[in-house]
Chain A
Amino acid sequence: MVFAKGLNKQRKRRNDYNNLAGYAFISPWLIGFILFTVIPIGASFALSFTRYDLVSPPKWVGLENYKTMFLHDERYMSALKATFSYVFVAVPLRLIFALFIAVLLVKDRKMVSAYRAAFYIPSLIGGSVAVAVMWRQLFGANGALNSILIELGIIDKGIGWIGNPHTAIWTLILLAAWQFGSPMLIFVAGLKQIPTSYYEAAYIDGANSWQRFIRITIPLLTPIIFFNFIMQTISGFMAFTESYLITGGGPFDKTLFYALYLFEKAFKFYDMGYGCAMAWVLLLIIGIFTALIFKSSNYWVYYESKGEW
């Protein structure tokens, strides 16, 4: 018995030693995480109940920021509207293009990896100033799109697509749809996982390609669609750069994305507390939508391993 006790002590000491080594190895990351992620998040939450203009000390105001947001702030409502319309249109569009191109590119053709890379590039350079400037040029009153349309005789004077309240948000939606690269690659990976034996069996049974697509590809892709849907929705709600650089919030706030309004309030009008409150509400909104999508996934996502359908 004494012998066993000694062994246990040794084992415990070894375990402690292992744990300590583990902590030591991740300590740099852990310190960074605490200092740059956890603490600022906590501070943001606390600040959301204050009025803070960066240079004077924060003043406690309780729920006033939250109340103002929902009851007294028209621009906030515009921001919500703009962001929701963007997400509900741009995300599905982006996913549809991504899937469409992915299906085209999944076959092993010559140079297919070059095509894939080419289609991926727009999403890499997405948030950059260069693309924004180019997009402004394309859709500006003197831009390339207008020149083409005038040449084709569709319109006879240039339309300022970016400054026009009806079309401004569509330029941004189009930009989002153009950057379908990363969901596309994920779809390609997902498509490759579908066993060709299913397709062969269906072909033998006389299914045409549309039926094969609807009955085999889509159902077996649903986990990937689910993943992409969530990721794109989350990033859609956080869209900032496009509206900041291209429309600046658009003609009277028509393209005032939530993150852009947050930025304006915090950094242009020096109302940090309000910005923090907005950030937490955004977290709530994204959380709710993600939860909804998760809940719904029980009804439309098919996991082969689970065998439910």
Chain B
Amino acid sequence: MKKWWGLLIIAILVMTMVLTACGQSQTTKDTTTGDQQKQDEPKQDESKDNAVGEKAELRVFWWGSQDRHDRTIKAIEMFEEKNPDVSIQYEFSGWDGYWEKMAALAAANQLPDVFQQDYQYLAQYAKKGLLEALDPYVERGILDLSDVDESSIVGGKVDGKLYGINLGSNAPCIVYDPDLFQQAGVPEPTPDWTWEDYMDTAKKIHEKLGIYADRVFPGGYFHGLKHYIRQHGQKLYSDDGTKLDYSDDKLFEEFFTMELELLKQGALPMPDERLEVKSVEDEFLVTKKAAMAAVHANQIVAMVKAANRPLKLALLPKHKDQVKEGTYVKPSQFFSVAATSKNKDKAVQFVNYFTNDIEANKVLMAERGVPISSKVREALMPLLNDAQKEMFNFMEVVVLNSSPIDPPDPPGHPEVDKLLKNLEEQMLYGQLTPAEAAIKFREEANKILAKSAQ
């Protein structure tokens, strides 16, 4: 009897291990190096054969929500149909962990042929020679930017050369629930609403409805501070990226004092509650725990889908004494081509397809932001759902109420971002006053920027 028991348990254990192992290789499309031929993936109907010699192989990586993944995969398959001589191996993830992966790939000289880039990292990667300059391809006609306005291209330029193609115009903004606003008896934001209006609105919402005004302060700790500084005609980072540019620490103080005020009133949650939100679909606005969400304009599409009710977009508040518009047109993401890519022409072709092909964009449906090609925008207009129309219309408002984007964030930016995040949490927990934090920020940030500029 005992022997049979033992055998049974061993059999179950082995089965479980085998099943989990098999399960792994099906659901994760992980290939650490894209050129390995002997993968256990041939049974997959989503990834194509890796036959070298017949087909040019491209690796494409991106981050995003599930919605974006589904759309992008469809667009890729359509590209492969139109271009049977190209086979694409794709991989995607969330924002979390994407850049660590890219760093590891960069170190191994294995960056994907085409990968999604962000404003925060574009300069860093470009200056280290990891990206292919795209200007020659524009000249040769492989990359067609004839329907694209200069303002949408300039964000992807570093030191005068084009390193990333804007996948959709975007802007930091506030998404709000007009219904909740009505319930609270608060007027909806207008394009000219100011910080005073915002503070009033936030407090009233909390008083009347008992929910939070937002999960974070407008713009979050980083974009918000940048926005506030821009409104006073100054910049966060110096042009050469070696130090902070703005000279008045009072700006830092004022900005975070406002946040602390709302926190005291209970209109904003403490940082520990914020941790619950891991993706756009979890936002407090979606779950009705807050009436607003400070995100980027393109995220309204996914939020409306998750919240299943109409939401609207508002600009970040203006400053009543502002000398310049804080809002700017931001390239939401870019596609960049790796300098080490072995199929550069094909890679650029793919980027061109993404930018200009109308059928593809009908699938992508502006999920990453408003398309930069005017022809594509025209073709999409009749197909947009309410959330998307809201986004398109909002971007028009942004263009009218914005000033040019600042130069790309310098290489030390990720560390400065972390520093600011820590300081914000310390302020929220009362361990630092905004005045003290302002001084500390300047000290530490300058150290970081100076070091990384060497």
Contacts and interface: CB of A to CB of B under 8 A. Distances in A.
A56 B128 contact: yes
B273 interface: yes
Contact of A163 (B107, B273, B418, B447): B273
A251 B429 contact: yes
Nearest to B111: A55
Contact of A267 (B103, B130, B275, B276): B103
B95 interface: no
Contacts of A271: 452
Given A253-B422, A268-B99, A269-B415, A160 B270 contact: yes
A51 B453 CA distance: 12
A55 B414 CA distance: 17
B254 interface: no
B365 to A, nearest CB: 31
Nearest to A72: B447
Contact of B418 (A140, A159, A251, A264): A264
A270 interface: yes
Contacts of A59: 454
A55 B104 CA distance: 10
Nearest to B101: A267
Contact of A140 (B103, B104, B271, B275): B275
B139 interface: no
Contacts of A253: 422
Given A264-B418, A268-B414, A269-B415, A54 B103 contact: yes
Contacts of B422: 252-253
A140 B276 contact: yes
Interface string A145-168: 000000000000001111111000
A141 interface: yes
A243 to B, nearest CB: 14
Interface residues of A, number: 28
B129 interface: yes
B106 A55 contact: yes
A27 interface: no
Interface in B437-454: 444, 447, 452, 454
Interface string A250-267: 011100000000001001
Contacts of B272: 141, 159-164, 251
A284 B272 CA distance: 35
A219 to B, nearest CB: 36
A72 to B, nearest CB: 7
Given A160-B272, A160-B273, A160-B275, A165 B103 contact: no
A15 interface: no
A220 to B, nearest CB: 31
Contacts of A165: 425, 429
B402 interface: no
Contacts of A72: 447
Interface string A191-229: 000000000000000000000000000000000000000
Interface in B410-445: 411-412, 414-415, 418, 422-423, 425-426, 429, 431, 444
B150 interface: no
Nearest to A68: B451
Interface string A233-247: 000000000000000
Contact of B130 (A55, A141, A161, A163): A55
A34 to B, nearest CB: 21
A18 interface: no
A130 B195 CA distance: 42
B305 interface: no
Nearest to B130: A55
27 contacts: A51-B454, A55-B128, A59-B454, A141-B275, A142-B276, A159-B272, A160-B271, A160-B272, A160-B273, A160-B275, A161-B272, A162-B272, A163-B273, A163-B274, A165-B425, A252-B423, A252-B425, A252-B429, A252-B431, A267-B100, A267-B103, A267-B104, A268-B99, A269-B452, A270-B103, A270-B124, A270-B411
Given A59-B454, A160-B271, 6 more contacts: A55-B106, A160-B270, A163-B271, A164-B270, A268-B415, A269-B414
Interface of A: 51, 53-56, 59, 72, 74, 136, 140-142, 159-165, 251-253, 264, 267-271
